[in-house]
Structure 1
Amino acid sequence: NRLYESQFDAFGNLSFGIEEHTDLGIPYDPAVGIFGMDVSVSLKRPGFRIKERRIQRRKIPKKQRITREEGINFFIREFGVNVIKE
């Protein structure tokens, strides 16, 4: 339950890798073998749809964007992770 501060980008998004799927508690199956995963989490506030909709697209205002600090605080508060500075 720890993340590094460098895993967060300037917009509060998070990316990390899992080396082996057996780390998640899934039993080992020789037919499948061992594989890893890359996980990316994108945080959005209500109203972010205006950037992606087809008609009348608009830019997201700066006050509506999620900052790196807000993303870090969200994961600490909601998931109880430790964020380590590198």
Structure 2
Amino acid sequence: TICFRYDPSTGIYGMDFFVVLERPGYRVGRRRRCKARVGIQHRVTKDDAMKWFQVKYEGVILNKSQAIV
């Protein structure tokens, strides 16, 4: 494998982030004992996650066509 070092010249644009958002109580689907299904209304949708990011961190979400490559 190749070891990559952080290059300051690329800046923050050279990084991708992956985040998993879930509501409290989501563990019921993953626990070992008494598993249950998580209802559709309790799941976090893509639109909910994008709206939360914009409000919480005042972030800007780019479309794939607007992304800097």
What range describes the TM-score normalised by the shorter chain of this pair?
A: 0.5 to 0.7
TM-score after normalising by structure 2: 0.67
CA contact (8 A) 1:76 1:82 kept: yes
Count of aligned pairs: 56
- Partner of residue 47 from structure 1, selected from 10, 20, 25: 25
* Identity percentage of aligned residues: 25
Letter in 2 for 1:50: V
1:6-45 correspondence runs (5 A): 20=6, 22=8, 23=11, 39-45=17-23
Runs of 4 or more above 4 Å deviation: none
Determine which structure has the larger strand proportion and give its number. 1
TM-score (norm 1): 0.55
CA RMSD of aligned residues (A): 2.1
Secondary structure of residue in 1 paired with 2:18 = strand
- Greater relative contact order (Cα < 8 A, sep 6+): 1
Q: Whole-Å Cα distance in 2 between the matches of residues 37 and 84 of structure 1?
A: 14
Local SS of the residue matching 1:39: coil
